[in-house]
Amino acid sequence: MKPHPIENAPQEIPYYRPVANECDLFEHAFNHRLALLLKGPTGCGKTRLVAHMAARLGRPLYTVSCHDDLTAADLTGRYLLRGGETVWCDGPLTRAVRTGGICYLDEVVEARKDVTVVLHPLTDDRRILPLERSGETLVAPDDFMLVVSYNPGYQQMMKALKPSTRQRFLAITFDFPAFDDEVAIVARESGLAVEQCAPLVRLAARLRAMKGQDLDEGVSTRLLIYCATLVHSGMPLENAVLAAMIEPLSDEADVKEGLLEVVRVTL
Protein backbone atom coordinates (compact mmCIF):
# COMPACT_ATOMS: atom_id res chain seq x y z
CA MET A 1 0.00 0.00 0.00
CA LYS A 2 1.27 3.46 -0.90
CA PRO A 3 1.93 5.74 2.10
CA HIS A 4 -0.44 8.69 2.39
CA PRO A 5 1.15 11.89 1.09
CA ILE A 6 1.75 14.37 3.91
CA GLU A 7 -0.36 17.49 3.42
CA ASN A 8 1.86 20.37 2.22
CA ALA A 9 4.86 18.03 1.99
CA PRO A 10 7.70 19.65 0.07
CA GLN A 11 8.27 18.11 -3.40
CA GLU A 12 11.70 19.48 -4.18
CA ILE A 13 13.99 21.96 -2.47
CA PRO A 14 13.27 25.50 -3.71
CA TYR A 15 16.39 27.39 -4.75
CA TYR A 16 17.78 29.67 -2.06
CA ARG A 17 21.20 31.34 -2.10
CA PRO A 18 22.37 32.06 1.46
CA VAL A 19 23.50 35.65 1.92
CA ALA A 20 24.82 35.29 5.50
CA ASN A 21 24.38 32.61 8.17
CA GLU A 22 20.58 32.49 7.92
CA CYS A 23 20.30 28.81 6.85
CA ASP A 24 22.59 27.77 9.67
CA LEU A 25 20.65 29.82 12.24
CA PHE A 26 17.36 28.43 10.95
CA GLU A 27 18.62 24.87 11.35
CA HIS A 28 19.89 25.50 14.88
CA ALA A 29 16.56 27.11 15.80
CA PHE A 30 14.66 24.10 14.41
CA ASN A 31 16.91 21.60 16.22
CA HIS A 32 16.47 23.42 19.52
CA ARG A 33 12.71 24.02 19.14
CA LEU A 34 13.11 27.80 19.08
CA ALA A 35 10.85 30.20 17.21
CA LEU A 36 12.32 32.53 14.59
CA LEU A 37 11.52 36.11 13.59
CA LEU A 38 12.57 37.38 10.14
CA LYS A 39 12.70 41.15 9.75
CA GLY A 40 13.22 42.93 6.46
CA PRO A 41 11.78 44.74 3.47
CA THR A 42 9.33 43.13 1.10
CA GLY A 43 10.67 40.88 -1.66
CA CYS A 44 14.13 40.26 -0.19
CA GLY A 45 13.95 36.46 0.25
CA LYS A 46 12.26 35.79 3.61
CA THR A 47 9.49 33.57 2.23
CA ARG A 48 11.90 31.75 -0.07
CA LEU A 49 14.25 31.01 2.85
CA VAL A 50 11.39 29.45 4.82
CA ALA A 51 10.25 27.34 1.82
CA HIS A 52 13.84 26.22 1.22
CA MET A 53 14.49 25.29 4.84
CA ALA A 54 11.15 23.49 5.27
CA ALA A 55 12.02 21.33 2.27
CA ARG A 56 15.60 20.77 3.48
CA LEU A 57 14.36 19.74 6.91
CA GLY A 58 11.64 17.58 5.32
CA ARG A 59 8.78 19.29 7.16
CA PRO A 60 5.42 20.35 5.73
CA LEU A 61 4.99 24.13 5.51
CA TYR A 62 1.86 26.11 6.44
CA THR A 63 2.11 29.71 5.31
CA VAL A 64 -0.37 32.36 6.41
CA SER A 65 -0.30 35.93 5.04
CA CYS A 66 -1.54 37.95 7.99
CA HIS A 67 -3.93 40.87 7.50
CA ASP A 68 -5.79 43.17 9.87
CA ASP A 69 -8.88 40.95 10.05
CA LEU A 70 -6.94 37.79 10.86
CA THR A 71 -8.00 36.40 14.24
CA ALA A 72 -6.69 33.66 16.50
CA ALA A 73 -9.55 31.39 15.31
CA ASP A 74 -8.33 31.75 11.70
CA LEU A 75 -5.08 30.17 12.87
CA THR A 76 -6.35 27.61 15.37
CA GLY A 77 -9.63 26.49 13.79
CA ARG A 78 -13.37 26.70 14.28
CA TYR A 79 -16.57 24.71 14.26
CA LEU A 80 -18.21 24.68 10.82
CA LEU A 81 -21.60 23.43 9.67
CA ARG A 82 -21.17 20.54 7.23
CA GLY A 83 -24.19 18.62 5.92
CA GLY A 84 -26.27 19.62 8.94
CA GLU A 85 -23.53 18.61 11.37
CA THR A 86 -21.19 20.85 13.34
CA VAL A 87 -17.60 19.70 12.80
CA TRP A 88 -14.32 21.05 14.11
CA CYS A 89 -11.89 22.21 11.38
CA ASP A 90 -8.26 22.77 12.26
CA GLY A 91 -6.68 26.05 11.16
CA PRO A 92 -3.17 26.14 9.65
CA LEU A 93 -1.39 26.65 12.98
CA THR A 94 -3.16 23.67 14.54
CA ARG A 95 -2.40 21.52 11.48
CA ALA A 96 1.27 22.46 11.73
CA VAL A 97 1.30 21.53 15.45
CA ARG A 98 -0.49 18.21 14.82
CA THR A 99 1.74 17.18 11.90
CA GLY A 100 5.06 18.54 13.22
CA GLY A 101 5.33 21.14 10.48
CA ILE A 102 6.63 24.66 10.07
CA CYS A 103 4.06 27.42 10.43
CA TYR A 104 5.09 30.69 8.77
CA LEU A 105 3.10 33.81 9.66
CA ASP A 106 4.02 36.45 7.11
CA GLU A 107 3.58 40.09 8.26
CA VAL A 108 2.52 38.94 11.71
CA VAL A 109 2.14 42.50 13.04
CA GLU A 110 -0.89 42.96 10.78
CA ALA A 111 -2.90 40.30 12.64
CA ARG A 112 -5.41 41.07 15.40
CA LYS A 113 -4.09 41.31 18.94
CA ASP A 114 -5.72 38.03 20.06
CA VAL A 115 -3.23 36.14 17.86
CA THR A 116 -0.47 36.82 20.39
CA VAL A 117 -2.53 34.97 23.00
CA VAL A 118 -2.15 31.73 21.06
CA LEU A 119 1.48 32.37 20.14
CA HIS A 120 2.74 32.95 23.67
CA PRO A 121 2.26 29.46 25.18
CA LEU A 122 3.61 27.94 21.93
CA THR A 123 6.81 29.96 21.99
CA ASP A 124 8.05 29.36 25.50
CA ASP A 125 9.09 26.11 27.13
CA ARG A 126 5.47 24.96 27.48
CA ARG A 127 5.09 24.61 23.68
CA ILE A 128 1.37 24.09 24.00
CA LEU A 129 -1.57 25.18 21.88
CA PRO A 130 -4.75 25.42 23.94
CA LEU A 131 -7.80 25.21 21.65
CA GLU A 132 -10.33 27.04 23.77
CA ARG A 133 -13.31 26.32 21.56
CA SER A 134 -12.78 22.56 21.29
CA GLY A 135 -11.38 22.22 24.81
CA GLU A 136 -8.25 20.41 23.56
CA THR A 137 -4.67 21.32 24.50
CA LEU A 138 -2.06 20.18 22.00
CA VAL A 139 1.58 19.72 22.93
CA ALA A 140 3.79 20.69 19.99
CA PRO A 141 6.05 17.85 18.82
CA ASP A 142 9.81 18.45 18.52
CA ASP A 143 9.58 19.04 14.77
CA PHE A 144 7.00 21.83 15.02
CA MET A 145 8.50 25.27 14.38
CA LEU A 146 6.99 28.74 14.32
CA VAL A 147 8.49 31.36 12.00
CA VAL A 148 7.10 34.88 11.73
CA SER A 149 8.12 37.86 9.64
CA TYR A 150 7.47 41.55 9.44
CA ASN A 151 8.72 44.58 7.61
CA PRO A 152 10.03 47.17 10.10
CA GLY A 153 9.71 49.77 7.30
CA TYR A 154 5.91 49.64 7.39
CA GLN A 155 5.66 49.44 11.10
CA GLN A 156 3.48 51.87 12.97
CA MET A 157 3.73 52.25 16.74
CA MET A 158 0.23 50.80 17.13
CA LYS A 159 1.26 47.69 15.29
CA ALA A 160 4.71 47.11 16.77
CA LEU A 161 5.33 43.72 18.37
CA LYS A 162 5.35 44.01 22.13
CA PRO A 163 8.63 43.12 23.89
CA SER A 164 6.83 40.24 25.63
CA THR A 165 6.11 38.79 22.19
CA ARG A 166 9.33 39.60 20.34
CA GLN A 167 11.52 38.29 23.15
CA ARG A 168 10.21 34.78 22.47
CA PHE A 169 11.94 34.61 19.09
CA LEU A 170 15.45 34.38 17.73
CA ALA A 171 15.65 37.10 15.10
CA ILE A 172 17.43 37.83 11.83
CA THR A 173 17.49 41.13 9.97
CA PHE A 174 17.32 40.76 6.20
CA ASP A 175 18.39 43.33 3.69
CA PHE A 176 18.74 43.10 -0.07
CA PRO A 177 21.52 40.67 -1.03
CA ALA A 178 25.05 41.96 -1.72
CA PHE A 179 25.76 42.80 -5.39
CA ASP A 180 27.27 39.45 -6.49
CA ASP A 181 24.64 37.45 -4.63
CA GLU A 182 21.80 39.48 -6.10
CA VAL A 183 23.19 39.21 -9.65
CA ALA A 184 23.42 35.42 -9.22
CA ILE A 185 19.86 35.23 -7.81
CA VAL A 186 18.34 37.43 -10.54
CA ALA A 187 20.14 35.46 -13.28
CA ARG A 188 19.09 32.12 -11.88
CA GLU A 189 15.45 33.11 -11.32
CA SER A 190 14.93 34.98 -14.62
CA GLY A 191 17.17 33.04 -17.01
CA LEU A 192 18.82 36.31 -18.15
CA ALA A 193 22.63 36.22 -18.60
CA VAL A 194 24.74 37.39 -15.63
CA GLU A 195 26.29 40.20 -17.76
CA GLN A 196 22.83 41.58 -18.50
CA CYS A 197 21.64 41.22 -14.89
CA ALA A 198 24.60 43.12 -13.43
CA PRO A 199 23.55 46.59 -14.79
CA LEU A 200 19.99 46.03 -13.53
CA VAL A 201 21.25 45.21 -10.03
CA ARG A 202 23.48 48.29 -10.14
CA LEU A 203 20.45 50.36 -11.12
CA ALA A 204 18.45 48.85 -8.25
CA ALA A 205 21.16 49.91 -5.79
CA ARG A 206 20.94 53.51 -7.05
CA LEU A 207 17.13 53.49 -6.86
CA ARG A 208 17.29 52.05 -3.33
CA ALA A 209 19.55 54.91 -2.32
CA MET A 210 16.57 57.20 -3.01
CA LYS A 211 14.48 55.57 -0.30
CA GLY A 212 13.26 58.21 2.11
CA GLN A 213 13.21 60.93 -0.57
CA ASP A 214 9.48 60.49 -1.31
CA LEU A 215 9.95 56.74 -1.69
CA ASP A 216 8.75 54.45 1.11
CA GLU A 217 10.49 51.35 -0.09
CA GLY A 218 13.39 50.58 -2.46
CA VAL A 219 13.03 48.28 -5.46
CA SER A 220 12.86 44.67 -4.25
CA THR A 221 14.79 41.63 -5.48
CA ARG A 222 11.39 40.33 -6.61
CA LEU A 223 10.88 43.35 -8.92
CA LEU A 224 14.42 43.02 -10.23
CA ILE A 225 13.63 39.42 -11.17
CA TYR A 226 10.43 40.54 -12.91
CA CYS A 227 12.40 43.13 -14.87
CA ALA A 228 15.06 40.59 -15.91
CA THR A 229 12.30 38.12 -16.87
CA LEU A 230 10.75 40.70 -19.21
CA VAL A 231 14.14 41.48 -20.79
CA HIS A 232 14.86 37.75 -21.15
CA SER A 233 11.58 37.29 -23.00
CA GLY A 234 12.49 40.01 -25.50
CA MET A 235 10.97 43.21 -24.10
CA PRO A 236 13.06 46.34 -24.77
CA LEU A 237 15.10 47.25 -21.69
CA GLU A 238 13.51 50.69 -21.14
CA ASN A 239 9.98 49.25 -21.21
CA ALA A 240 10.92 46.47 -18.81
CA VAL A 241 12.57 48.90 -16.39
CA LEU A 242 9.57 51.23 -16.50
CA ALA A 243 7.04 48.44 -15.87
CA ALA A 244 9.00 46.53 -13.22
CA MET A 245 11.26 49.05 -11.48
CA ILE A 246 9.61 52.47 -11.74
CA GLU A 247 5.82 52.22 -11.97
CA PRO A 248 5.42 49.82 -9.00
CA LEU A 249 7.34 52.20 -6.71
CA SER A 250 5.30 55.38 -6.94
CA ASP A 251 2.16 57.05 -8.30
CA GLU A 252 3.64 60.55 -8.17
CA ALA A 253 4.72 61.96 -11.53
CA ASP A 254 7.63 63.97 -10.10
CA VAL A 255 8.94 61.00 -8.06
CA LYS A 256 8.79 58.77 -11.16
CA GLU A 257 10.59 61.45 -13.15
CA GLY A 258 13.34 61.51 -10.50
CA LEU A 259 13.68 57.72 -10.72
CA LEU A 260 13.79 57.85 -14.53
CA GLU A 261 16.60 60.37 -14.30
CA VAL A 262 18.58 57.81 -12.26
CA VAL A 263 17.82 55.20 -14.95
CA ARG A 264 19.09 57.49 -17.70
CA VAL A 265 22.42 58.16 -16.00
CA THR A 266 22.92 54.53 -14.91
CA LEU A 267 21.98 52.39 -17.93
Residues 74-133 that bind ligand ADP (CB under 6 A): none
- Given candidates 37, 47, 55, 101, which one binds ligand ADP under the rule CB under 6 A? 47
Q: Which is nearer to ligand ADP, 90 or 189 (CB)?
A: 189
How many residues belong to the site for ligand ADP (CB under 6 A)?
Answer: 18
- Given candidates 10, 36, 37, 45, which one binds ligand ADP under the rule CB under 6 A? 45
Instruction: Check residue 179 for interaction with ligand ADP (CB under 6 A).
Output: no
Instruction: Check residue 19 for interaction with ligand ADP (CB under 6 A).
Output: yes
By beta carbon distance, the residue nearest ligand ADP is 45
Instruction: Tell me how far, at minimum, the Cβ of 184 lies from ligand ADP, in Å.
Output: 8
Instruction: Check residue 185 for interaction with ligand ADP (CB under 6 A).
Output: yes
Beta bridge partners of residue 130, listed in sequence order: 137
Instruction: Tell me how far, at minimum, the Cβ of 29 lies from ligand ADP, in Å.
Output: 17
User: Which residues are within 8 A (CB) of 93 and not within 5 positions of it... i.e. 6 or more apart?
Assistant: 62, 64, 75, 76, 103, 118, 122, 129
Enumerate binding residues for ligand ADP (CB under 6 A). Answer: 15-17, 19, 40, 42-48, 177, 185, 189, 221-222, 225
